[in-house]
Amino acid sequence: MNYLILAETEFFGLINTDTEPCNLNTAYDDFIKAIIELCCGSMDTTATVVALAYTENELQHHRTWHSPEENEQISLFVRKALTFVRKIQKHLATNNIPQVPPLTSIPETPKEKKTSVPALRWTGNAIDLVGIIYGIHEMGCINGGEIPLKQLAPILYSFFGVETKDCYRFYTDIKRRKTISHTHFLEQMQARLNERIRRDEEAELNRR
């Protein structure tokens, strides 16, 4: 990674000279072309943003910022170059190309995290999902049965996009059932699965 690629241009040599620079306008144009070629021709986006960050830092702390009256021509071209570099950085950021933090310390405003929408959504009764969660926990098939129910339940709620956290109240309702089985939903699942297997087996026999 050659992060000095832009700082090694003729333009940088001229703005850092102690004598009156010649052909500064031409060197500036070549510097701009070098930036464009770097952004358009490089496959390594990380190297590009690092080179731009280094160049921005060098221009931002150029000696002409402290005494612009010493050489107004150099000061003008330094400001123009810095403005262009920052516009390119903004363009890269807008187009979601990976950026690196500026080499100078600039505090950033924390961005509010967006709540992700679950890919799956439980559309049945919440109490039936609770029965499944308790059954999974009793089977001990998650993390070798070492995960506590109070950790497992919120994870599965979130996975299925269920907002309720009243797992224990629903479990109490399941235990108090009088007219239907405590495991009514699980028994329905068992019956449906057995029926599916029976149909598949019959279909296989008919194809023979």
> Looking at residue 92, what is its pLDDT?
78
Average of per-residue pLDDT across 162-191: 85
Phi, psi of 102 (to 5 degrees): -60, 145
Structure-model confidence comparison of residues 3 and 162, the more confident one: 162
Domain membership of residue 14 (yes or no) is yes
Domain membership of residue 110 (yes or no) is no
Q: Do 89 and 151 belong to one domain?
A: no
Domain membership of residue 134 (yes or no) is yes
> Looking at residue 112, what is its pLDDT?
58
Domain membership of residue 16 (yes or no) is yes
Q: pLDDT (tens digit, 9 = 90+) per residue, 102-152?
A: 444 445 555 555 556 557 888 888 889 989 999 999 999 999 989 988 888
Q: What is the spatial distance between Cα 129 and Cα 185, in angstroms, rounded to a whole number?
A: 9
> Looking at residue 164, what is its pLDDT?
62
Is 187 a residue whose pLDDT tops 90?
yes
Average of per-residue pLDDT across 76-83: 89
Q: Do 86 and 152 belong to one domain?
A: no
Report the chain's mean pLDDT, rounded to a whole number. 81
Q: What is the spatial distance between Cα 161 and Cα 175, in angstroms, rounded to a whole number?
A: 25
Q: What is the spatial distance between Cα 185 and Cα 190, in angstroms, rounded to a whole number?
A: 9
Phi, psi of 164 (to 5 degrees): -65, 145
From 79, 94, 109, the end of a domain falls on 94
> Looking at residue 106, what is its pLDDT?
46
Q: With bands split at pLDDT 50, 70 and 90, how would you rate the model's confidence at 185?
A: very high
175, 183, 194 from 189: Cα distances, Å: 19, 10, 9
Q: Which range, of 18-27, 51-60, 94-103, averages the lowest pLDDT? A: 94-103
Domain membership of residue 119 (yes or no) is no
From 75, 94, 113, the end of a domain falls on 94
> Looking at residue 1, what is its pLDDT?
55
Q: Which range, of 1-5, 10-14, 70-74, averages the lowest pLDDT? A: 1-5
Q: Which amino acid is at 17?
A: T
Helix (H, G, I), strand (E, B) or coil at 145: helix
Q: Do 16 and 68 belong to one domain?
A: yes
Residue closest to 7 by CA, chosen among 96, 82, 116, 67: 82
Q: Do 146 and 86 belong to one domain?
A: no
Domain membership of residue 121 (yes or no) is no
The total number of structural domains in the chain stands at 2
Residue 140 lies in domain: 126-207
Is 199 a residue whose pLDDT tops 90?
yes
Predicted structure pTM score: 0.43
Q: Do 196 and 138 belong to one domain?
A: yes
Q: Do 79 and 130 belong to one domain?
A: no
Q: Do 80 and 142 belong to one domain?
A: no
In the chain, the percentage of residues whose pLDDT exceeds 70 is 82
> Looking at residue 194, what is its pLDDT?
95
Q: What is the spatial distance between Cα 12 and Cα 59, in angstroms, rounded to a whole number?
A: 9
User: 22 is written with which tokens?
Assistant: 């010649």
Domain membership of residue 48 (yes or no) is yes
- DSSP H or E stretch at residue 121: none
Find tokens 């490089």 and name the residue: 42
From 70, 94, 118, the end of a domain falls on 94
Average of per-residue pLDDT across 170-195: 91
Domain membership of residue 2 (yes or no) is no
> Looking at residue 135, what is its pLDDT?
92
User: 152 is written with which tokens?
Assistant: 């497992």
Helix (H, G, I), strand (E, B) or coil at 24: helix
